[in-house]
Amino acid sequence: MKLTRSSGLLMHITSLPGKYGIGTMGKEAYEFIDNLKSAGQSFWQILPIGPVSSIFGFSPYSSLSSFAGNYLFIDLESLQDEPWLSFNILSSIPEETENDFVDFNFVAPLKLSILKKASVDFFMNADTEYINDFHEFIDQQKYWIVDYALFMALSDYFKTFSWPEWDSEIRYRNPEAIKKYTELLRKEIHFHKFLQYVFFRQYGALKSYAKKQGIKIIGDIPIYITYDSADAWANPAIFQVDPETSLPSHIAGVPPDYFSPTGQRWGNPLYKWKENNALFPDTFEWWKKRFKYMFKLFDLTRVDHFRGFESYWSIPVTEETAINGKWERGPGLEFFTRMKLELGNLPIIAEDLGIITPEVEQLRDTIGAPGMKILQFAFDFDKNNTYLPHNLPSPNCIIYTGTHDNNTTNGWFYENDIDEPTRNYIADYMNLPHRDSFHWEFIRLALSSIAALSIFPTQDILGYGSPYRMNTPGQAHNNWAWKLTPGRLTNDILQELHHLCKLYNRI
C-alpha cells in the first residue's frame, strides 16, 4: 500500500466507551468510526486482537493465539439480537459507563460465563442457516481453529496454559491422544469455536462499515509469540526448543543498554529460521499463513520488533538476565522476497524503534515498508536526531506523538518524564509563546511534517495526563486498562483535529 498524506487515531477496542465495563465491537465502535470520519481521519489503529489471559496481565502482546480473536471484544447487545438466543444476557451484567478503566478481573470471567450460556442456546436453537454458516466458518479456518479450540479446552482441563506440564501423550500431540481428548472435551471445543464464530462475524461487520466510511484499519502483530499458546503447542518444530523437555532452549530479549544494565529478558521462544543455510520451510509456511490472514483482517499491519527479522538477541534459557545473549542473523531479505513472491504486496509497517542498525534500515527500505517516527523521542538536544521533523528523510514513514508504550503527550511534557531545560528546548524548537494546550501544539508539529501518515493516541487529542496512558513497559500490573467514557470525545475536539488536518493537507 502506498501511503498518501493522511491521519488517524490509535485506540484499542477495549478502550472504547463500552456500556458494560469494557469497549467492544458494538455501537460505540461504529460511533468511533463516525467520529474518525467527521474529524477528517483516514485510519484507525488498534492493538493486537488475540485472546488474552490474566496470567499475562491481559496484555494484547501476550496472546494465546496468533489467529484467534479476543472474546472480550464481543458485543453483548448485538448478540442479544440474534434470533436463536432465548434468554436476556444483559440482565446478568451491570451497566457501567463512567469508569475510566476496565476491571478485567471482573469483566472477563463474567462475560465468559454469559457467552457459555449463549453457546448452549446457539447449538440448541439456531436454525439450519446459522449452523451451516458456523460449519462453513470452521471449515475455512480449520488450519488454525481446530488446534486452537482443542488447546483452550485442554488448558481448562489441565488448569494451565503451560502445555509442557500436560500429560506427555497430549503434550507431544500423539494422534491417539488428540482423538481421545477431542471426544472427551467435545462440548468445550465447540464452545471455543463458537466464540471465534461470533467474534469474526462481528469483526467482519465492523470492518465492512469502516470501509464504507473510508476508514482503514491498522492492525498489530508481535513478532514473537507466547510459549504458553496454541501456536507453540501446535507448531513446536518452528521454535528453538529442547526436544526432551519441550521447553525453549533460547529466548528473546534485547541486550544491555543505557536504560537497562542487564538488558531485557522477554522469555519468548525464538524461531528456527534456517536449516542448512536455507529458510526453514515450516517456519516460513507458518509466517506465510499468519501474514495472509492478517492482510485479510487489516488494511495495514504493524509488525512489532521488526528488527528481529534482520538480527535478534538470543539468550540461553538458563540465563537469568539478557547480559550473556548474542546477536544472531534473522531470515532477512530472503524471507521478505519469497513472501512477496507468494503473497504479492506486503502492506506492513515496520516498528523500527530503539537502537536500529543500518542493516535494519536497509531491510526496511528495500521492502518498502514505512517506519515509525515518535516525536517524544526527538528532543535529546541532538540536532541530528532522526525523530526531529526536519530530519525525516522521506515521506514514507508514520509520525506519532507517542505510542501505546509512551506516556500521554501532556503527561510527558508537564510531569516528570523530562526536565525543565528539555521543556525549554522543545518550546524553542516549536516556537511556542506559551505552554498552554501543549498537546495541540505537538499534534500540529506532527501534522506539519513530511511524514505521509500521522497517528495520534486518542488520549493525546483529549489532552489527558499520565494516569491515562495505556502501558508502562517493565511494569507488570495496571496496564492496558484505559477506557474512554461517553461524551469526552466532543465535537469541538473532533472539529479542531479536522481543522488542523485540512490545514496541513491531510484531508
Distance, in Å, from the CA atom of 248 to the CA atom of 231, rounded to the nearest integer, reads 14
The active-site residue, picked from 188, 351, 441, 460, is: 351
Distance, in Å, from the CA atom of 206 to the CA atom of 210, rounded to the nearest integer, reads 6
User: Looking at the chain, how many residues does it have?
Assistant: 507
Distance, in Å, from the CA atom of 181 to the CA atom of 189, rounded to the nearest integer, reads 10
Assess whether 405 carries a catalytic annotation. yes
The three-point CA angle 219-225-229 to 5° equals 110
Nearest to 366 by CA among 340, 333, 392, 338: 333
Distance, in Å, from the CA atom of 17 to the CA atom of 10, rounded to the nearest integer, reads 14
The active-site residue, picked from 31, 319, 405, 417, is: 405
Distance, in Å, from the CA atom of 365 to the CA atom of 350, rounded to the nearest integer, reads 10
Helix then strand then coil, % of the chain, to nearest 5: 45, 15, 40
Assess whether 129 carries a catalytic annotation. no
Q: What does the CA dihedral 385, 389, 394, 396 come to, rounded to 10 degrees? A: 110
Residue 460 burial class via C-beta count within 10 angstroms: exposed 0-12, middle 13-18, buried 19 and up: buried
SS3 of residue 251 by DSSP:
strand
| 454 contacts 3 by C-beta, under 8 angstroms | no
Nearest to 69 by CA among 200, 193, 190, 189: 200
Assess whether 304 carries a catalytic annotation. yes
Distance, in Å, from the CA atom of 464 to the CA atom of 483, rounded to the nearest integer, reads 12
| 52 contacts 59 by C-beta, under 8 angstroms | yes
Sheet of strand 250-254, all strands in order from the earlier edge strand to the far edge = 264-269, 250-254, 311-316, 326-329
The active-site residue, picked from 100, 121, 304, 365, is: 304
Contacts within 8 Å (CB) and 24+ apart, 112-119: 112/71, 114/76, 114/89, 115/71, 115/74, 115/191, 115/194, 115/195, 115/198, 116/191, 117/87, 117/89, 118/79, 118/85, 118/89, 118/194, 118/198, 119/190, 119/191, 119/194, 119/195
Question: Which residues neighbour 260 within 8 Å (Cβ) at sequence distance 6 or greater?
Answer: none
Please identify every residue annotated as catalytic. 304, 351, 405
